[in-house]
Every structure is written in structure tokens, then in C-alpha cells.
Structure 1
């Protein structure tokens, strides 16, 4: 039969039944899990890392777990939680120190800024490497007041996952791929009437002087078009 818990038993609160050397194992476990969490977040991509840096997320996850257990479980000693806090903060400081001074490490863990739109066209080679769908890209652009890609001079996806947007001056805006859902959904493989049409995959705008059956986009090789708008 389990003995009842004696309130304010300081030996149990601080170390419980563990020997003092067990705190060294706690420190090792903490370093190991810090690396595991950091690797998992780095692999998961920018979609999971918004606003906070990858190091701040690891810090929050590690400290949150360390703080929660000793609050609820009487057999989790406070000394172990303190060791976890000290080691996590030390790992955080060391990781950010190395990252700030080593570009390769920084780009490996945090990623780097990637151009996804330039001169009104999606840079498909760069875009395909990002964990981002066209719907998500268009949604972020619409939030910034963009109605068609001809308004966009440059769009850069930052290492944080956020989109930095630079627009053409009003007089420089050209026809482009419409991203408002009702207009974008009017897409077709065939060109029925002469005019300017935008590729629904990359945004390339092409003039057609006559109807055409399933023409290929010269930029990306796709064949779904929608009438370009200004």
C-alpha cells in the first residue's frame, strides 16, 4: 500500500528518492531532448515557425514541460526542474550564439529568405521547394490587398515563414494572374477568344491572337489559363 504524501517534506520536494548524482542524468536528458526538439522543428519547415524563432519555440517547449511536471506530480523533484531550466537556457544561449556567427548553421536550422514572386510571376523552382501551397500564397497576398500578380514587384518568404511584399508603383502595374477566387476559378485549358491570358501555375502572361487548344505555358509547361486582369 502506498504511503500517504506528507505535505512540505522538503527532502521529497527537492530530490525525492533520487541520489544527488541523478541531476547529472537530468542534465544529459535535457540536452538530448533540446537537440531532438530543435531538429524536429527544423525539419518541420517554416509553416510551423511563425512570429517566434525556431530557438524561441524550442525554449518554450522545453521550459513549459519542465515547469509543468513539478507543479502537478509530487514525485518530480524541484531540483530536477531547476537543472532542466539551467541546461535549456544554456543550450538556447549557445545555439543562438553559434547561429549568429555561422551562416551555414543559421540557414540549416532556420532556413533562409526565398524569392517566390518577381515581376508578377511566381518563381516556380523556388516556390516548389517551400512548404507552401498556391492557395496559402494567394491568401497571404489578398490579406495585403493584392488582387492580381501584376501588382507584385517582389515577394520574399522570410525564414520565419512570413511573406515580405513589395508592390509596383500604380503607374507600373501590368496585367497579371487574378487571385480573387471568383475570377481565378474561371480557368480553362483552351483559349476561346483572343486576348491576354495568365498561366494559373506561374502567372506568366501571354498574348493570344487567335483561339488555341491546350497551349503550353512557355515558362512552366502547364496548360491551364485564365484571362489576365489589370
Structure 2
């Protein structure tokens, strides 16, 4: 039967002191794995916190929780985990301040998703951001079509920042309300300005079929030009 406050077990779990070196190694490896995993998950996977901040929270939370509940986890190894994580945190913070490329790798960088009322296709590919998810973000801001949006950016935190045209500068744009967007078709039924459903490019169209001049896709929907309701 184990005794309460058995000090060697409490602090070291009856492990040799040299085990501390293994703890440092384990902590460094897991910290790196966490960082790379969340990096691959993308900004939206860790919305509102940066990837680096999320790694720190997960790592410290795990290190703090186990010795609180499990008698076979020593306090000293857990404390070494904390110390290792803080040292890694300081090292990464120092490197991000010294190297712009390293900072962009760790924190990511702000990407332009909409430029002058049209999608920035290359940025969407980088961010693996679903069109429906993005449209939802815009609708929350009472946006009806892309012609109301001058610029939209995805920040390093995963948040979407939107800058609007003034009312006098609003253009024809791709509708993002489901009822209007779902009217998309490869067959253009009427004369008028239509929007490419893939890239948001707008142009005058006649009945029939047509490929977008920008992305070469062939699905269109009638463009609309309404002012934003605020």
C-alpha cells in the first residue's frame, strides 16, 4: 500500500534524476509536433488565437493537469516541462523578432481574399477556406454581394476583416445570399451583367454559354448592385 506524501514518488515518481533529460527531450519533441500540426490545420482551425498561442496553451494545460490527478506523474518532471516550454517560448519569440520569414512561418501572414469586389483565387487556395464558410462570414456583416466589398483579408488570428465601398462606388457583384447564389447555371438565360460563381468576375453576357475571362469557369449567376444595409 502506497503512503501519502511519499516524497520520492510525489516529486520524481521513483524515477532516477537523469530522467529529467528525457523529459526535456520529450517536451521539445511534442512542442514541435503540436506547432506543426496546428500549422497544417490552418488559421481557421485556431480562430481568435494565433497558432503559437494555441500551442502554448495546450502544452501548459497538459503539463499542469497530469500531476494534479495522477499519482504516477511526478511534480518535478512536470515542472521541467513548464520550464522547457517557457524556454522554447522565449526562443521562438526571439526568432520571430529577428526573422520575418520565421515569423510568417509561425504566425502566418495576412492574406487578401477579396480585391475590388473579386476573389483573390490564389489566397483562397493557400488558406483552404471554403466558399460557403466565407460567404457566411460576409453575411454576418450584412453583405449581400461582393460588389459592396472593396477589400477583405484573413488575419493571422483567422478573423476576416472587411473594408467596404462607399455607397456611390458600389459595383455589380456576385450575390452571396443562398436564394440568389443558388440560381447559378452554365446556361445564361437573359441579357445583362452576370457574375462568375468561382472568382466573382462580372461582365455583360448574352443568352447562351460563356467561359469567364479570368478563371475560365463556366457557371454564372445574374449580378446585383444594391447598397449595403447598415
TM-score (norm 2): 0.94
Contact 1:200 1:226 in 2 (8 A): yes
Which position in structure 1 is the counterpart of 2:212?
217
CA–CA distance in structure 2, aligned partners of residues 75 and 125 of structure 1: 51
Gaps of 5+ in 1: none
Runs of 4+ aligned residues of structure 1 deviating over 3 Å after TM superposition are none
Q: Deviations over 1:127-151 (max 9, x none)?
A: 2222101101111111111110000
CA RMSD, aligned part only? Answer: 1.2
Which position in structure 2 is the counterpart of 1:55?
52
Secondary structure at the counterpart of residue 156 of structure 1? strand
Which position in structure 2 is the counterpart of 1:157?
154
TM-score (norm 1): 0.94
1:42 aligned to 2:45?
Answer: no
Counterpart of 2:30 (choices 12, 17, 33) is: 33
Give the CA deviation at 1:76.
0.9
| Superposition map of 1:1-230 within 5 A | 4-208=1-205, 210-212=206-208, 214-230=209-225
Secondary structure at the counterpart of residue 165 of structure 1? strand
Secondary structure at the counterpart of residue 127 of structure 2? coil
Secondary structure at the counterpart of residue 128 of structure 1? helix
Secondary structure at the counterpart of residue 10 of structure 2? helix
CA–CA distance in structure 2, aligned partners of residues 130 and 56 of structure 1: 19
Gaps of 5+ in 2: 226-230
Contact 2:118 2:201 in 1 (8 A): yes
Contact 2:195 2:220 in 1 (8 A): yes
CA–CA distance in structure 1, aligned partners of residues 15 and 122 of structure 2: 56
Contact 1:23 1:83 in 2 (8 A): yes
Contact 1:46 1:131 in 2 (8 A): no
Give the number of aligned pairs.
225
